[in-house]
């Protein structure tokens, strides 16, 4: 049966009752197997030659295109205690609507008349500034009056000094005249003495000449006294001049010192006024912060601080809100090795969680339930998870994204790259090579046909 021996028993076996042996000897299975192998090889070769679209697959989540449209938390700028809630979770609020009211917990703000008292202090300090200003004006007037008075006094003393100097000149002339008369009287007396000795003149004439000589001497001495007196008057006038200058200089300096003291006090008061104005405005603005309002239209999603009577610190989150109007986008994270393959405007296919889809990564045109998008922005700095974030916006040429999408839902994304054969993609995957890097052909600029002369 196995054809080992040369003595065959094939003809001696009755095959009519052995159906299995008949089927084996018919060799139909060998033909079927051969056909299957041919079909499988042809199918495999055909599949290997089919085009395959290279993709970068990643997971992500739904977000918003603009930062101000993303979910946000409302914080309390000041510390306080929750007194009343005006909304519940899920309510729609418009911009400026009151969400809750808080009361003060710091003792320096407990006074209910704090603004009024601060305003009174501000007015008092403003009046102080005005008083110092008026005092400065009065001192300016006093200084002007002293300067004018000093000019008049100095002019008067200068005139007196001039008069004294003129009198000195007059007295000196009188003294010269008296000395001349004395010399003449002396000469005449000597002449009469000679004539008297010669008995040419009488004794009476000689005595008259002596008397006249004595009179001229007396006049000379009187002229000298007058000259000394007038010289003393000049000295006194100069002393008066210096005294008046020193006196008015002292008075003006004292007035200017008082003026600068008043100016210093006025500037100090102005600084206090500025500080009180700042404090008053701070108190006024703080009173408006007791009501926490919505920064924009949206829905209250979660009350982070619940209940009444709870205290919140400065900058602590109180409630989270989701804006009502937003533009959806998808943020996906890619590996650093795939970053050079990304560029703005690149097409992306997106599968959203909760929406059934049949996805063929190599044949995106045959996928069902996926939506189109374009690369909107690419981060230049790596994220904490070791990947780069890519922001994907809706593709205006594809169908719109589902209306029921919510921010935060998960996604699976495929960035479409170059079309290659299936065998090349398998070879690339086995060797761990990155996808093909390519860019769309840009239209070349028309050549300038005009020759430069």
The token pair that represents 57 in the structure block: 């697959």
Same domain flag for 271 and 128: yes
**Is the residue at 138 inside a domain?**
yes
- The CATH number that applies at residue 248 is 1.10.287.620
**Is the residue at 451 inside a domain?**
no
Q: What does DSSP assign to residue 176?
A: H
- Which of 287, 309, 343 is where one domain is finished? 287
- 306: domain range? 71-104+290-323
Same domain flag for 158 and 244: yes
Can you give the pLDDT at residue 8?
63
Can you give the pLDDT at residue 359?
55
Can you give the pLDDT at residue 393?
92
Can you give the pLDDT at residue 453?
36
- The CATH number that applies at residue 415 is 2.40.30.170
**Is the residue at 120 inside a domain?**
yes
* Beta pairing, strands 51-64 & 328-334: antiparallel
Can you give the pLDDT at residue 59?
87
Per-residue tens of pLDDT for the chain, all 453 residues: 455 666 665 666 666 666 666 666 666 566 777 788 888 888 888 877 777 666 778 888 999 988 888 889 999 888 899 999 999 888 999 998 999 999 888 888 888 888 888 889 999 999 999 999 999 999 899 889 988 888 888 888 888 888 888 888 887 888 788 888 888 878 877 777 777 777 777 778 777 877 887 888 888 888 888 888 888 888 888 888 888 888 888 988 898 899 899 899 899 999 999 999 999 898 888 888 889 999 899 999 888 887 788 888 888 899 999 888 888 999 999 888 878 778 888 888 888 887 776 655 555 555 566 888 999 999 888 888 889 999 999 988 888 888 888 888 899 888 776 666 777 767 777 776 666 654 555 444 444 444 343
- The CATH number that applies at residue 300 is 2.40.50.100
- Which of 298, 323, 348 is where one domain is finished? 323
Can you give the pLDDT at residue 232?
87
- State the total domains in the chain: 4
**Is the residue at 447 inside a domain?**
no
**Is the residue at 369 inside a domain?**
yes
Q: What does DSSP assign to residue 341?
A: G
Q: What does DSSP assign to residue 146?
A: H
**Is the residue at 299 inside a domain?**
yes
- DSSP result, 247-264: HHHHHHHHHHHHHHHHHH
Same domain flag for 155 and 195: yes
- Which of 323, 343, 369 is where one domain is finished? 323
Q: What does DSSP assign to residue 17?
A: T
Can you give the pLDDT at residue 271?
92
Same domain flag for 213 and 123: yes
Can you give the pLDDT at residue 268?
92
Q: What does DSSP assign to residue 95?
A: T
Cβ atoms 289, 77 nearer than 8 A = yes
**Is the residue at 283 inside a domain?**
yes
Torsion of Cα atoms, 211 then 216 then 218 then 221, to 10°: -160
- pTM recorded for the entire structure: 0.56
Most distant pair of Cα atoms in the chain: their distance: 230
């Amino acid at each position: 049966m196995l054809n080992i021996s040369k003595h065959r028993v094939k003809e001696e076996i009755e095959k009519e009752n052995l159906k299995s042996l008949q089927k084996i000897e018919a060799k139909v299975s060998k033909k079927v197997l051969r056909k299957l192998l041919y079909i499988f090889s042809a199918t495999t070769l055909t599949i290997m030659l089919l085009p395959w679209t290279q993709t970068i697959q990643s997971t992500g989540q739904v977000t918003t295109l603009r930062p101000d449209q993303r979910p946000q938390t409302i914080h309390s700028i000041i510390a306080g205690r929750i007194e009343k809630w005006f909304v519940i979770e899920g309510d729609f609020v418009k911009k400026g609507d009151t969400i809750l009211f808080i009361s003060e917990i710091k003792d320096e703000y407990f006074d209910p008349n704090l603004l009024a008292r601060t305003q009174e202090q501000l007015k008092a300090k403003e009046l102080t500034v005005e008083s110092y200003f008026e005092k400065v004006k009065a001192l300016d007037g006093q200084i002007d009056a002293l300067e004018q008075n000093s000019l008049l006094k100095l002019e008067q003393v200068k005139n007196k000094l001039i008069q004294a100097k003129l009198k000195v000149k007059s007295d000196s002339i009188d003294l010269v005249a008296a000395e001349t008369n004395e010399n003449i009287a002396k000469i005449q007396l000597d002449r009469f003495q000679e004539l008297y000795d010669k008995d040419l003149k009488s004794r009476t004439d000689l005595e008259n000449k002596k008397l006249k000589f004595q009179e001229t001497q007396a006049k000379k001495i009187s002229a000298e006294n007058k000259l000394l007196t007038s010289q003393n008057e000049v000295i006194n006038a100069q002393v008066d001049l210096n005294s008046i200058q020193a006196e008015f200089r002292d008075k003006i300096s004292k007035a200017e010192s008082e003026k600068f003291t008043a100016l210093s006090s006025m500037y100090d008061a102005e600084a206090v006024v500025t500080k009180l104005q700042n404090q008053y405005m701070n108190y006024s603005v703080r009173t408006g912060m007791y009501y926490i309002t919505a920064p924009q239209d949206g829905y209250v999603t979660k009350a982070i601080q619940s209940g009444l009577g709870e205290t919140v610190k400065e900058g602590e989150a109180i409630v989270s809100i989701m804006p009502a109007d937003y533009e959806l986008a998808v943020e996906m994270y890619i590996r650093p090795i795939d970053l050079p393959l990304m560029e703005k405007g690149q097409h992306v296919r997106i599968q959203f969680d909760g929406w059934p889809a049949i996805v063929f990564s190599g044949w995106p045109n045959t996928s069902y339930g996926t939506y189109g998008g374009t690369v909107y922005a690419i981060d230049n700095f790596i994220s904490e998870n070791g990947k780069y974030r890519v922001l994907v916006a809706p593709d205006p040429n594809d169908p719109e994204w589902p209306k029921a999408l919510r921010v935060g839902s998960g996604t699976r994304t495929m960035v479409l790259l170059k079309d290659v054969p299936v065998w090349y993609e398998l070879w690339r995957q086995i060797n761990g090579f990155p996808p093909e890097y390519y860019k769309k052909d840009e239209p070349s600029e028309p050549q300038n046909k005009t020759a430069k002369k």
